[in-house]
Structures are given as C-alpha cells and as structure tokens.
Amino acid sequence: MRDWGDLPKRALTASILGPIALACVWLGAEWWTILMAICVTGLAWEWVRLCGGSTRRIPGALVPVFVLISGAAAVVGQFWISLALLAGGAVLVHGLASRYRNLAPPLWFTLGLVYIGVAGIALIDLRHTDIVGRDNVLFLLAVVWASDVSAYAFGRYLGGPKLAPAISPNKTWAGAFGGLLGAAMVGLGASLVVGDPSTAVRAIVVAAALGIATQGGDMFESWMKRRFGVKDSSGLIPGHGGLLDRLDGVMAAAPLAALLSMVSAPGLQLWR
Amino acid sequence: MEASHNSAVAVGTAPPRHVAVIMDGNRRWAQSRGLPVALGHRAGSDAARRTIEAAIHAGVGWLTLFAFSSENWARPADEVEEITALLRHYLRAEVNQLMREGVRLRVIGDRGRFGEETLKAMNAAEERTSDGRRLNLTVALSYGARAEILAAARSIAISAAEGTLDPNELDEDAFARRLFTAGMPDPDLIIRTSGEQRISNFLLWQAAYAELIFLPVLWPDFDMGNFNAALADYAARERRFGARTT
C-alpha cells in the first residue's frame, strides 16, 4: 500500500471523481452510458498496455473495439447479443494475439476483453433497468466504496498478519475484515433507511457478497500487476494510479450485482 | 568475506559514496512467468526507477547502472530493438522526474551505436539534468571496460607520440582522467543480481577496491529492501584497501 503522503492527493481526486460518477448515475441512463464508454475504453487501453501491446495495433486495438460494441448492444437492451459479441471478440483476439510472440500470452488479452466487457455490460444492464436501475448502481457503488475505505482504514490502523503476501504484500486480515464490515454496514443501512428492516439480513448478505467480490477484484488486480512487474496500471488518475487500480473492485462486483438482480430480484432493489 | 565485528575501519554508519549495479535477470524473470522478454525489460526498468529512489533515500551520492553491455549487441535483433525503444522512451519520459528529484544523468559507453535518434535523446537528457545535485546517476550503455581502458591507452599513446605527454609522468590519476568515468569517484560497492558471480567487463579499472555483493534476486524483483540490505551488508564489511588494520 501507499504512504500516508499520497492520501491528500487520493482524497482530492476521489472527491472530484466520486461526485462525477454519482451525478452520471443520477442524471440518467444516457449519462451513465457515456461515463461507462469512457471507463471501458480507458480500462481496455490500460489492460493492453499492461500486456505489452498497443491499442493502435492489432490485436490490442480490438480489445477496446469489442468492449465498446458489446456495450453498445447492452445499451439498446440486447443483453444476449452483447455477450455473444464479446465471445466472438474473445475468439478473434485470442487467435490474432497468438501470432505475436513479443506480447503477453494471448490468454491475457482474451481475459482482459472478457473481464472489462462483462463488467461494462453488467454496469450498463444494472443502470438501464427501469426505476430501480439508479438505486441499484448507487447501492453497488456505496458497497464498493465503503469496502475500499474501511479496508484501508482498518488495515492502516490495526495492521497485523498479512492476508496473502505472495499475491499482495500489503493486505492484512484486519483490512479484509474491515472491508467486509464496511460493505455489510451499507446493506444494513440501506435496509433500515430506504428499505424494509425485516429484510435486513438479506440486505447484509447481498452487500457482504458484493464486498467479497470487491476484495477479490482488488486482489486479482494486485496479483496481475505483480505478475507483470508494474506498480500502477497507468498514471491516469493522480494519487490512484490508473483506472484499473481504482475500478478493480467495482469490475468484479458489478457482474455479481447484475446476476443477483437478474436471478433473485428482477425489477427490485438489490437489498429488498 | 572477512570477519568484520572486530574492526573499526570504514565500518558503519555512512552509506557508500558510489554504488554500481549490474542489472541482471530480466530475461529469466520473463521466461519464468511465461512472458515475452520485452516485458522483462519493461519490469526491469521499473526496478531501475525503484533503485534510483532507494539511492536517494539512502543518501548515496553516486549510482551507476549497467544497462547494456557492448556484448549485448550479440542478442537477437528484435530484443536489441525492444531495449533501444524502451531506452528512448525512458530517456524522454523520465527526464522531468529526474530533474524534479535533483538527479544528474550521465551516460557512459559507446553511445553512438544506438543510432542518431537515441543519441540525441541521451545528449538532451544529460543536458537537461546537468543541474542535479542530489544523485549522480550514470547509466552504462553499450559499455565494455576493456574497450574503455583500451581507448584511454590509445589516447595516451597518441598524446605521447605527439609529444604532449611524457610517458614517465603518467600516473594512475592521469590515466583515470582518460576513462569515461573521469571525475567520478570509484565505486565502493558493486551489486549484481540474478545469482551470477562475475563482473562481466564492468568498470574493471574503477572496481579495484569495490566490495562485491551478489544477490539471487532477479533484477525486475529488486526493490528498496534488497538495496538497503546490500548497504547493510556493505556497512558490516571491513574495507582495508590493501592495508593492515592492526
């Protein structure tokens, strides 16, 4: 983890980008779509660079292209077509990337395409659900941010034994517990304040599951950066490194949120 | 290694004035992860950045990094091309950071071999960082110590033939002033990573009394902890420069 010295810069950047994200959720699906298009393009660019490729050349160029067109299909409500486009893109990128031996193994490119694409589709799909879309995206963001902030605070103040030093040397059990607690509190808060207190247990379980996915995404991204020997995914966001560094949690939690929304509570708030 | 606990000579608190590093292991690092060699070099350049920060942090005044030897030209053409491209990228991208940190960059070696564009980037980077006072960073590129010594000997022979130098007057200091490293202190500590225990034609003249530390870590994994551990190891050694201490 970073020094305390980075904290003011982190806080400042978060206080600008956080409200922008919230405003886009609030203003409507169109604004959210624009923000998602920017995010997945940036994420694809970072991922391709991390794998030693370039988005100005094949196969790297195809990663943002397929992520964007599958996202576009999700915007017009063609959920299954968007997934099919992503699968087709994955096959194509894998085939093309196999020809270049100065790049990371083709599986890495394919994984990036699928990971970013699925997260993008999930976030669009969540927001585009009538009426509850806004609520569910706000809930997801609240869980992820609460998880990140409380994991950071618990890890910093308590320290203690490491969670998985081989994957991410600075993560502690205290931080993991704190993150889970923070996420669960959002579930409890949502059910007490804007929900039905009788379903509080369900809300806590949903929020905790999203919190675990958030930490899983964070862990995966740490592991990937270690694998490639880089510290930040890029320098796009002052104090936070790159988009991948900042959105790692939400990328992993969004598909789970979309799945939960689809399977257990279509058209309902996630915490009810 | 000698027992050092009973000696007081140069043991202790001050960091070495000049640390030189043979950055070895990028290729093996990449291969062990199933990654292309180019990504090993990229991760290696990140390690170089960490080492610069570690040197500044430790108060080391001179840091020399052996980036590319004159023998490395024998590597596959695409690898050489990738290293050169990476080098150009870093020369451009890192200069502002070096200036901010007060780092003065110098390049030693046969810099002309990298081509016109890279040469320009090297000269510009040296020029722009020439006010740096906190750390003297020397990067050895297309460097070979025998060629360096030979070039110095040749220039001396030419001066002698022209009658501007009396061979009897030539001493070690005068010879050293004809090396790439003229004006630089000799390295006190040379670190080589990746477990190889050779000096590989690096600073042969200058390393006469350098302490050598060989670390098993592959270069892309090298970090501030490794650097500080090497400094601690160095501090515990007894440096006698050929003299007796008792």
Give the model's pLDDT for residue B4.
39
Note whether residue A87 is domain-resident: yes
Q: Are B144 and B69 in contact (CB under 8 A)?
A: yes
Give the model's pLDDT for residue B89.
85
Is the pLDDT at B164 greater than 80? The verdict is yes
Give the model's pLDDT for residue B25.
96
Give the model's pLDDT for residue A122.
95
Take residue A59 and report the two structure tokens written for it: 């196969």
Residue contact B35–A102, C-beta within 8 A: no
Note whether residue A270 is domain-resident: no
Considering only the beta carbons, identify the residue of A101, A105, A230 that sits closest to B46.
A230
Give the model's pLDDT for residue B13.
66
Cis bond before residue A59 (omega within 30° of 0): yes
Note whether residue A188 is domain-resident: yes
Residue B149 burial (10 A CB sphere; 0-12, 13-18, 19+): middle
Å between A164 CA and nearest CA of chain B: 18
* Each residue's pLDDT tens digit, B124-147: 999 999 999 999 999 999 999 999
| Per-residue model confidence as pLDDT tens for chain A (272 residues) | 344 566 777 788 888 888 999 999 988 888 999 999 999 999 999 999 999 888 898 899 999 999 999 999 999 988 899 999 999 999 999 999 998 877 888 999 999 999 999 999 999 999 988 678 889 999 999 999 999 999 999 998 998 888 888 888 888 999 999 999 999 999 999 999 888 888 899 999 999 999 999 999 999 999 998 899 887 667 677 767 789 988 999 999 999 999 998 887 777 888 88
Which residue among B6, B26, B46, B72 is the active-site one?
B72
B24 an active-site residue? yes
CA distance B92 to A230: 19
Residue contact B36–A52, C-beta within 8 A: yes
Interface confidence, given as ipTM, is 0.79
Give the model's pLDDT for residue B205.
97
Listed residue (B91, B116, B19) closest to B61, CA to CA: B19
The pTM (predicted TM-score) of the whole model is 0.84
Residue B110 burial (10 A CB sphere; 0-12, 13-18, 19+): middle
CB-based contact, A230 to chain B, within 8 Å: yes
Listed residue (A43, A10, A33) closest to A221, CA to CA: A43
CB-based contact, B82 to chain A, within 8 Å: yes
What is the domain range of residue A140?
Answer: 4-263
Is the pLDDT at B245 greater than 80? The verdict is no
CA distance A199 to A188: 9
* Each residue's pLDDT tens digit, B221-242: 999 999 999 999 999 987 777 7
Quote the number of domains for chain A. 1
Q: What angle do CA B182, B80, A101 make, to 5 degrees?
A: 150
Listed residue (B233, B212, B192) closest to B11, CA to CA: B233
* Each residue's pLDDT tens digit, B186-214: 999 999 999 999 999 999 999 999 999 99
Chain A contacts in chain B segment 221-240 (CB below 8 A): 221
Q: Where are the alpha helices (DSSP H) in B59-197?
A: 77-101, 116-128, 145-162, 172-176
Please give the CATH topology (third level) of the domain spanning B18-235: Undecaprenyl pyrophosphate synthetase (3.40.1180)
Note whether residue A272 is domain-resident: no
* Residue from B23, B29, B33, B39 whose CB has the most chain A CBs within 10 Å, to mutate: B39
Q: Starting from the edge strand earliest in sequence, which strands make up the sheet with B189-192, in order? A: B103-108, B135-143, B62-69, B18-22, B189-192, B211-214
Note whether residue A196 is domain-resident: yes
Chain A contacts in chain B segment 35-54 (CB below 8 A): 35-36, 38-40, 42-44, 46-47
Residues in chain A closer than 8 A to B34 (CB atoms): 105
Give the model's pLDDT for residue B185.
97
B166 an active-site residue? no
Residue contact B43–A231, C-beta within 8 A: no
